[in-house]
Structure 1
Amino acid sequence: MLTIGMPRALVHYDCGDVWVKFFETLGAAVAVSPETAKDIVDIGVSLSVEDACLPVKVYLGHAAYMAKRCDYLFVPRLVSLEQRTYMCPKFLGLPDMVRAALRDSVRLIDPTIDLSKSARAMTQAVVRAASFLSKDPARSLSVWRTCSRAAAVCSTEADGRRKAVDCEEAAGLRIGVLSHPYIIIDRVLSMGLVDRLREMGASAILPESVLQDAVEPHLAELGRHIFWTHEKRIYGAGMAMASDPSISGIIIVQAFGCGPGSMIYDLFTRKCRRRSAVPVLNLSIDEHTGEAGIVTRLEAFVDMLTRAERGCM
């Protein structure tokens, strides 16, 4: 049985679950790398170029970890998931960066997913990815449709659970956290920010918790098209949070050197200052960021918000 390895970073948080189910249904064993640890970060940093952002370095660390533990490494070239909107340029170059870093130590499954051109691009990507396991395109596509439908149902149920959690935690401070999913979900990259906020008596509201109906008006009001998938969602959700009187403050967590992020977070901060009095804390992370400094700034921010809620400021 073939073993397909998946790095637990970057694209895994966008579509990893559906691909795991897809390959397993076709008969492969799927091995996902463990959660990020310091040794994985160190390996990734050693394999990366200086100007790569920390999430890319961590991805290379996960890829290196899996290289000797699988027959193939799944590294899709994620170009676009919708019309006129694209992923970060580093997503486009992931297979090339992995090959440059790992040389010939592992074979890659690297389908190109570019839905900006046509819906058929997904069909071609699925057939190519499955060619290592099945020579029957019709079966591969049938399995993919089944897995995609199941993933959509799980996503809807997860949305419901997130809303329920938001309601349960609404008694304390509600703080919006704007970040890419591959940063905030990774406890090492985010330094456990969500858990730390909970320990301080606050609940974290993520962009994924904001309904699309609340996001769209702010994107339309901007009057220009945001061309990056994650950043479009982050901006719209951030403006929705800033307009919500139940949100006490907003924390931005961005990777140092992130091009699209630096532009959108700056745009959001300027728009937010003009239209809302909600306090905003901006945290930038890289491999040199100290945990103590992040914790100190979080504690000070939460303390300030708590005092403001009590009318002490």
Structure 2
Amino acid sequence: MILLADGGSTKCDWILLDQQGEIVFKTRTEGLNPAVFAQSLLEERLEKNEELRSHKDKVQAVHFYGAGCGTEKPRKLLEQVFKEFFTKADIIVKEDMVAAVYAATTEPGIVCILGTGSNSCYFDGDKIHMAVDSLGYVLMDEASGNYFGKRLIRDYYYKRMPPEVAEDFGKRFDLSSDSIKENLYKKSNPNTYLASFAEFIFTSERNGYFYKIITEGIQEFVENRVLCFPEAQSVPIHFIGSIAHFSEDIIRAAVWPYHLTVGNIIRRPIDGIIDYYRKEVIGKLEKK
């Protein structure tokens, strides 16, 4: 049986497939980003999930695609955590861009992730090509959850929010300066803390203020993470993640001046990954 996972900093979706590609179970853990979480926390989050614990000795392969797995050191850390938990399984850990490509397309295209963080790549139909390395939430991550979280907090403190929006924002979150500074500078995982504020935009009624900040974030992302690819005007641009799902109209408006073509917009890539494995992995194994 193959255990598939699509992991971010906030959450991780897991699906166990049997030898025929049928789903044995679906489950979710908290995020498992090895670039920002300590080994002890990664281990704890696996142990907390009852379904993973009860099936771990039956799993023959773990294929994990996650945020923070694009460089060797954090990838090796997560591989070790999985080897100790899934003791009878072969382990493969790859960055989340690979899963995004599997979910979005089998043809050449640019694939973008808009989640807790953000990223992009060009897929030539065979290999993935990155234009720049992602430097994370402090320096990059345009149009991501943590990007919008930072924007909301700054606008609230600089009094740039419309009064009625600021009032609602203040009721929904603890916005005391002490609380914000403690979460940002003393507690772990400030990126996921910032991203938690972004839900305010996407669970509230759309208004001119929200439209403005989403538009500015998407425009920054397009300018920095899409137009950097020479192929941008000749292939579809695919978007993965909840922020992309809820911002489809703004994405289409943002790319129009550049004569770009929007491809697939997928909220949860895990379903596309299942289809890929049924066709490309399990299907080929059955033919052998």
The normalised TM-score by structure 2 is: 0.32
The structure richer in helix per residue is 1
